[in-house]
Structure 1
Amino acid sequence: MSQLYSHKGNYSAAEPLLYRSLEIRETTLGESHPSVATSLNNLALLYRNQGNYSAAEPLLKRSLEIFETTFGEFHPHVAQILNNLSQIYSDQGNHSAAEPLLYRSLEIRETTLGESHPDVAQSLNNLALLYSNQGNYDAAEPLFLRSLEIRETALKPGKL
């Protein structure tokens, strides 16, 4: 239900539901459980959508710590949180903080999921957007093209 409210932009209805989910998971599963990390990520995304980066960042850092501790530093869940954290920095124009997170996310995804996985395309696209926003179009273009190629291949009829 919280996702429905978030997608509709009804953040005031979504926030208490996300907090409730987080509290339930922390109480029943413990504060270091991967499901808690997922709830932290979801709440952080709500704050990012509101532009409340100071609230989102610590939630993502805690989520990252839980996933790294639980699954190791080279896991797709870690890559997703790195990607989300990089978007917070990118939104604020802090490209020097975002770039290494995007590269780390890309490396994890290429290694664990394969170089033609759609999540790799997401990482490539986000890195390309970062470069494009900086005016570095020569660096952005090959990343956009590789992202597009992966997505076109993954979405071919019969591949789904």
Structure 2
Amino acid sequence: MGKGVEAENMSVRAIKVRKKILSNEDKDTLSGIAIVGLAFNLNGRWDEAKELEVQVMETRKTKLGVDHPSTLTSMANLASTYRNQGRWDDTEKLDMQVMETSKTKLGVDHPDTLTKTRKTKLEVDHPDTLTSIANLASTYRNQGRWDNAEMLDVQVMETSKTKLGVDHPSTLASMANIASTYRNRGRWDDAEKLEVQVIKTSKTKLGVDHPFTLTSIANMASTYRNRGRWDNTEKLLVQVIETRKTKLGVDHPSTLTSMNNLAFTWKENGKETEAVRLIEDCVRGRKRVLRANHPYFISSCTALDTWKAEQEDIILSNRRPN
């Protein structure tokens, strides 16, 4: 059983205990339900995640108010699930609501007393607001609304540079998001320029083997792959895979994702045998850590079946008499 599934099962058991001792509307119970929802989300069980996240969101709206930070967090979690399901309109609606509310929140409980409330004004450059803007930009990217995504991402990046600094992780993340938009628009030079900057700063500030640095290198590999620069792509992906194996483990989802990407790179570059072997390793790894109905596991299995069928067709074709 994979660690993700194991963690999910432990969370579910904890919730059952809390429900017996406390009520469904107790804040600790709601926090536990939210954690289970996140676990379902990570494991690709999006319908079940949505059901729990809606429950948490509606209860928090009633108990805490629409503008409470915990309510906004539950709305953002639900938006993330909708995003994974490809429900872009629903995602955008929630993202927009969270973003606008984050700019000006009313009725936030004072940390020292539940009876005294205060009014908190959040400017556009507040970290929570920037996060909600970035989430909305992500939704726009998934919808292919590149102009909208780029406009918001640039706003986040420029504000982060001013308020947090050029080399702050949040600033680097916003730069990486803009590079992603450029990559999806075929603006390879612009994407590569930003990615080089992100990687260089990440290596200096976070370290060569930091997860964000490795993700940035993987993004650069994606840009190279789209440009048909196979040798550069392979070199970077192999580097990412080996480091992730050492730092995160062979079966870590990020390690398996980079293996999957390298397999597809080899396939596109005509390295059929190597591609099949690697995607087989990826399938075995994902089988160990994911459920059988997880989209990533299904995707790798489909690729493996297709590639093997293609190999068999070639073998049969070569055996036929001329």
CA positional deviation for 1:79: 1.3
User: SS of the counterpart of 2:104?
Assistant: helix
Q: Quick check: 1:74 aligned with 2:109? A: no
Name segments (4+ residues, structure 1) moved above 2 Å: 153-157
Could you say which residue in structure 1 is the equivalent of 2:90? 55
Q: What CA RMSD, in Å, does the superposition of the two structures yield over aligned residues?
A: 1.6
CA positional deviation for 1:144: 0.7
Q: Is the CA contact 1:102–1:126 (under 8 Å) kept in the aligned structure 2?
A: yes
Q: Is the CA contact 1:121–1:147 (under 8 Å) kept in the aligned structure 2?
A: yes
Q: Is the CA contact 1:63–1:81 (under 8 Å) kept in the aligned structure 2?
A: yes
Alignment TM-score, normalising by the size of structure 2? 0.47
Residue 149 of structure 2 aligns with an amino acid whose one-letter code is A
Superimposed CA distance per residue, residues 76-121 of structure 1 (whole angstroms, 9 cap, x where no aligned partner): 1111111111111111211111111001111222222221111111
Could you say which residue in structure 1 is the equivalent of 2:41? 6
Could you say which residue in structure 2 is the equivalent of 1:31? 66
Percent of residue pairs bearing the same amino acid type: 34
1:35, 1:107 → 2: CA distance?
28
Could you say which residue in structure 2 is the equivalent of 1:122? 173
Structure 1: state its 5+ residue gaps.
none
Q: 1:97 aligns with which of 133, 148, 160?
A: 148
Higher RCO (CA-CA < 8 Å; seq separation 6+): 1
Larger radius of gyration: 2
Superimposed CA distance per residue, residues 14-40 of structure 1 (whole angstroms, 9 cap, x where no aligned partner): 112111221222122211122222111
CA positional deviation for 1:128: 0.6
1:153, 1:3 → 2: CA distance?
32
Structure 2: state its 5+ residue gaps.
1-35, 106-121, 211-322
CA positional deviation for 1:138: 2.0
CA positional deviation for 1:156: 2.6
Task: Give the 3 Å change call, closer, same or farther, for CA 3–154 of structure 1 in structure 2.
Answer: farther
2:159, 2:59 → 1: CA distance?
30
User: SS of the counterpart of 2:166?
Assistant: coil
Higher helix share: 1
User: SS of the counterpart of 1:72?
Assistant: coil
CA positional deviation for 1:43: 0.6
Could you say which residue in structure 2 is the equivalent of 1:137? 188
Task: Give the 3 Å change call, closer, same or farther, for CA 18–79 of structure 1 in structure 2.
Answer: same
2:197, 2:71 → 1: CA distance?
34
Residue 111 of structure 1 aligns with an amino acid whose one-letter code is T
Residue 96 of structure 1 aligns with an amino acid whose one-letter code is D
